[in-house]
Chains A and B, each alone.
Chain A
Amino acid sequence: MLSYVLRRFFYMIIVLLVVSITAFVIIQLPPGDFLTSYIMKLKASGQIVDEAEIAALRKQYDLDLPIHLQYCQWMWKMLHGNFGKSFEWNRPVKDLILERLPLTVTVSLFTLIFTYLLAIPIGIYSATHQYSVGDYAFTVIGFIGLATPRFLLALILMFVSYRYFGLSIGGLFSPQYQLAPWSGAKFIDLLKHLPIPVVVIGMAGTAGLIRVMRGCLLDELQKQYVITARAKGVSERRLLFKYPVRVAINPIISTIGWTLPRIISGQTIVAIVLGLPTIGPLLFRALVNQDMYLAGSSIMILTFLTVIGTFISDILLVWLDPRIRYEKQAR
Chain B
Amino acid sequence: MKNRQDKITAEEKFYIATQWQLMWRKFKKHKLAIFGAIVLFIFYFVAIFCGFFSTQDIYKRHTKYIHAPPQRIHFFDEEGFHLRPFVYGLKRKINPVTLRRTYSEDRTKKYPIYFFIRGDKYKLWNLFPTDLHLLGVKEPGTIFLFGTDKLGRDLFSRNLHAARISLSIGLVGVALSFILGCALGGISGYFGGTADMVIQRVIEFLMSIPTIPLWMALSAALPPHWPPIKVYFGITIILSIVGWCGLARVVRGKLLELRQEDFVMAAKIIGATDGRIITRHLLPSFLSYLIVNITLAIPGMILGETSLSFLGLGLQPPVVSWGVLLRDAQNVRTVVLHPWLLIPGLFVIVTVLAFNFLGDGLRDAADPYK
Contacts and interface: CB of A to CB of B under 8 A. Distances in A.
A261 interface: yes
B210 A149 contact: no
Contacts of B326: 152, 155
Interface stretch (B3-11, B76-84, B216-224, B280-288): B216-224
A138 B67 CA distance: 38
B207 A258 contact: yes
Interface string B340-359: 00100100111011001100
Interface stretch (B16-24, B86-94, B304-312): B304-312
A257 B205 CA distance: 11
A155 B210 contact: no
B14 to A, nearest CB: 23
B319 interface: no
A209 to B, nearest CB: 15
B151 to A, nearest CB: 21
Given A151-B310, A158-B332, A288-B220, A143 B207 contact: no
B209 A22 contact: yes
B165 interface: no
B208 interface: yes
B357 A143 contact: yes
B207 A147 contact: no
B189 interface: no
Interface in A271-308: 272-273, 280, 283-284, 287-288, 290, 295, 298-299, 302-303, 306-307
A1 interface: no
A265 B213 contact: yes
Contacts of A148: 349, 352
Question: Chain B binding site: helix, strand, loop or mixed by DSSP?
Answer: helix
Contacts of B214: 299
B209 A303 contact: yes
Contacts of B330: 155, 273
A262 B242 CA distance: 13
A295 B217 CA distance: 8
Interface residues of B, number: 41
B349 A144 contact: yes
Q: Which of B211, B312, B339 has the most CB of A within 10 A?
A: B211
Contacts of B313: 287-288
A30 B208 CA distance: 24
Contacts of B353: 143-144, 147
B202 to A, nearest CB: 9
Contacts of B352: 146-148
Contact of A26 (B204, B210, B221, B310): B221
A196 B264 CA distance: 53
A117 interface: no
Contacts of A152: 326, 342, 345, 348-349
A15 B212 CA distance: 19
Given A18-B205, A151-B307, A283 B332 contact: no
A147 B349 contact: yes
A30 B357 CA distance: 40
A268 B216 contact: yes
Interface string B184-217: 0000000000000000000011011111111011
A257 B210 CA distance: 11
Nearest to A158: B332
A229 B6 CA distance: 44
Nearest to B348: A149
A284 B208 contact: no
A245 B14 CA distance: 36
Q: Which of B205, B221, B332, B339 has the most CB of A within 10 A?
A: B332
A168 interface: yes
Given A151-B307, A262-B210, A283 B342 contact: no
Contacts of B42: none
Contacts of B310: 149, 151
A119 interface: no
Contacts of B147: none
Contacts of B357: 143
Given A168-B332, A264-B213, A266-B212, 7 more contacts: A29-B218, A143-B353, A146-B356, A155-B332, A284-B311, A299-B214, A306-B209
Interface of B: 204-205, 207-214, 216-218, 220-221, 223, 299, 303, 306-307, 310-313, 326, 329-330, 332-333, 335-336, 339, 342, 345, 348-350, 352-353, 356-357
**3 closest residue pairs by CB, A with B:** A29-B221, A265-B210, A147-B352
